[in-house]
Every structure is written in structure tokens, then in C-alpha cells.
Structure 1
Amino acid sequence: MLRNDVAMVEVPQSQRPGQTAIYRNPKSYHALDHRNSRNLYTLYDVFEHSVKKWPNNPFLGTCVNGAYQWQTFKQVAELRVGSGLMTLLEKNGIKKTTALGIYSINRPEWVITAEICNAYKMASVALYDTLGPDAAAYILNHSEIDAVVAAKVAIPNLLKVAHKVPKLKVIVSMDSLNDECSDITRQWAKDRNIILVDWNELEVLGRKYPKAHEPAGQEDIACICYTSGTTGDPKGALLSHK
């Protein structure tokens, strides 16, 4: 007898050596339920649905001095950073990338960059601090990345391996580059033949040259999730929108 008052139940005989059992919602105990009553088939569909249904609800928050400052669904949807990135690539003769790197800890710009990928049919590829420089270079090459959106502190790591990643042409800083130290970083990028801009510059460019969305389909790759590569080169799992 299945109980409906619990969050999930164990699927019998689903445990394997070295793995946990499979757990499912009691309503989908015998098989996964693929019915879709809202016609939401991609991550893009889900976000756009949320924007229409809850435009003024808080969506992304940043903790500042112990209090959260929120951006609503509508405010995030009205950002034009994605248009700016598409324009930047176009103006520099770079064919639109099929995968976009994200190199940062959790923050609103991380999620917004993932939504850019969903809106312009690109797969997101996360890079993280535990990666060594060789593993980072391997992932960038393996996923054929042209552009990376990164926290400012991560940019030196990218520039250090840039000579090993010939396809990398653009780095976008999530943080402002309007200081003396950033001038040095900009010159370093220029010496590596890499275009370096910040988030605000893309926003300005995107508002000047708006680009229509080119959303992915449900069978398209939403993200490539790489392992840390502790036992050899990192392995990339392909996750579709479906």
C-alpha cells in the first residue's frame, strides 16, 4: 500500500552496488509522468511562463549587509545582456557559440547567464574553483567554447590558460572593470587576443542593438555538466531541455 502523505518513496530493487536506491514522488511511483498540462517543454518556456504569471514577484536576491536585495522576474527578463553578447560576437566576426562558459560562485549573474543560454539556443558549461588550470583548459577546448562569463576574480585563471585554448575569444566580467587593476587585466586580455568587457557594457550594447530570442527546443542540449576530473580528464554529461 503506497502512502501519499510522504514526499518520496523508494523504488523496489533499484539499488545497485555503490549507489543509492531511486526515489520518486508517490504519484509517479511506477513510472515517470511526462504529461505536460501547461505546454512547458524547455527551460526557456518555464522562465517565460514565470515572467508572465508572476512578473513582480522576487526572483533573484543578493544578500547585502544582512538583508536581501531582490530583482523581480520582470526586471530580469528586461535585461539585455544576452542581446549585448550576441551583438558583441557578431560585430567581431565570431559565429554564435553553441556553448557558453560560466565561471563563478552562485550569484544572480550566474542564473541570468544560464537564462541567456536558454534564450539563444546555447548550452551552459559550468567551471568551478576546484578545477585545476589544466582541467579548465580541457573543458573549454572539449566543449568548443568561444566565450565565458566569469566573476572578476576568476578572469586571471582564464587568461593564464588562454594560450592553450585557441578558440576562446571573449570573456565577460560579471563585475565592473572600471578601476586601475582592471586596466591591467584588460591589457593582459588584449595581449592574448581576447575581448574583455564587463556586464554593464553588455547591457548598454544590448539596449542599443536588441536581438530577438532564438530559444532552444526540448531535444537541444541545455547544459554540459563536467566532473572534476580527479581520475583522468573531466567527463561531460549532456542534459537536454526535455
Structure 2
Amino acid sequence: MAIEQKLRSVELPGTRRPGQTGIYRRTGFENKPLLTSPPTFPHVTTIYEAFQNGLRISPHGPFLGTRQYDPVTKTFGGYVWQTYTEVSDRITRFGSGMVKIHQDVHQLAEPAQRWTVGIWGINRAEWTISSEACSAYNLATVG
């Protein structure tokens, strides 16, 4: 029995370069403009700006939740939430600490620009804070 193959994406004409593939877009969206920012928040164009927008809108609202685990009963409890303001403070402290350590280790008079940070770990609040700190300090993440 033959299975019908439907194209999920198509290569955009004229985008292939020597040594590279072309740019692919989802079928049906080949000629539609890319969404560059949410229509209701045209000023939001980066991850950092998205977080700052949430902080501005809801500074005391929940942003990052951690589900509590009891190793004795082997059960999960409810979530404990950190607000945008609490997480913003942790982002600033962690990010500025990373920059300072990097500056000290490399004996730099001024903080270096555009260096990379490797984040290795499972999804958890600390990973999110690390990633957001890199965005806040214009650092690239790898992992």
C-alpha cells in the first residue's frame, strides 16, 4: 500500500548558496511575511525584551514555578512560584557575577563582549535564570 507523501516544507527559490542548503518554510507559508514580534507588543524583539515586558506588566505576578518533591514519600506537591521581580533580581545578580568572574579570570580591565556560556543541565529554575542572565548581558548560550 502506497503512503501519500505531503510536503511539510519547501525550499524558497533563490536562497540556496554554495555549500549551504536553501531556506525552508512550512508549506502554505512560503509567501507570507515572517512574524517579527507579537502584534500586541511590537517593541518586543528579543528574549530579554520579552522578559522585561512581562516584568513591566506584572512585576509581582508568578513567573517561574518549581514543583516540590518529597523524597521520603516519593510524591510531588504543589508549585512554589517566584515573581517576575524576584527572578529579575536573581538574573541581575547571577549575570553580573558571571561577567565579574570572567573579567577576573581573564585579567581584563573591562568586561569582555560577546563571549559564550555553556549551560548543561535538565530543565529547572536555575537553568532558566542562567539563560535569561545571558540574554540580559548579551552573552550567547550553548548547550
Say whether the fold is shared (TM-score over 0.5).
yes
Aligned residue identity for 2:35: D
| Corresponding residue number in structure 1 for 2:126 | 109
CA distance in 2, matches of 1:82, 1:13: 43
Within the alignment, does 1:85 sit opposite 2:85 as a pair?
A: no
Q: 1:51 aligns with which of 52, 55, 72?
A: 55
8 A Cα contact 2:68 2:78, kept in partner: yes
Alpha carbons of structure 1 residues 106 and 13: separation in structure 2 relative to 1, 3 Å: closer
Within the alignment, does 1:69 sit opposite 2:80 as a pair?
A: yes
What's the CA shift string for 1:44-73, capped at 9, x where partnerless? Answer: 111111111011111111111321111111
- Percent identity of the aligned residues? 31
Q: 1:1-242 residue pairs with structure 2 within 5 A?
A: 14-15=8-9, 22=26, 30-31=31-32, 32-34=34-36, 37-65=41-69, 66-79=77-90, 80-92=93-105, 93=107, 96=112, 98-126=115-143
**CA RMSD, 1 decimal:** 2.7
CA distance in 2, matches of 1:23, 1:109: 37
Q: How many corresponding residue pairs?
A: 108
CA distance in 1, matches of 2:118, 2:8: 35
What's the CA shift string for 1:22-43, capped at 9, x where partnerless? Answer: 267xxx7851333655311211
Aligned residue identity for 1:70: W
CA distance in 1, matches of 2:104, 2:117: 18
By relative contact order (CA 8 Å, sep 6+), the higher-ranking structure is 1
TM-score scaled by length of structure 2: 0.63
CA distance in 2, matches of 1:82, 1:52: 20
Counterpart secondary structure, 1:78: helix
Unmatched 5+ residue regions in structure 1?
1-11, 127-242
Unmatched 5+ residue regions in structure 2?
1-5, 11-24, 70-76
CA distance in 1, matches of 2:59, 2:30: 34
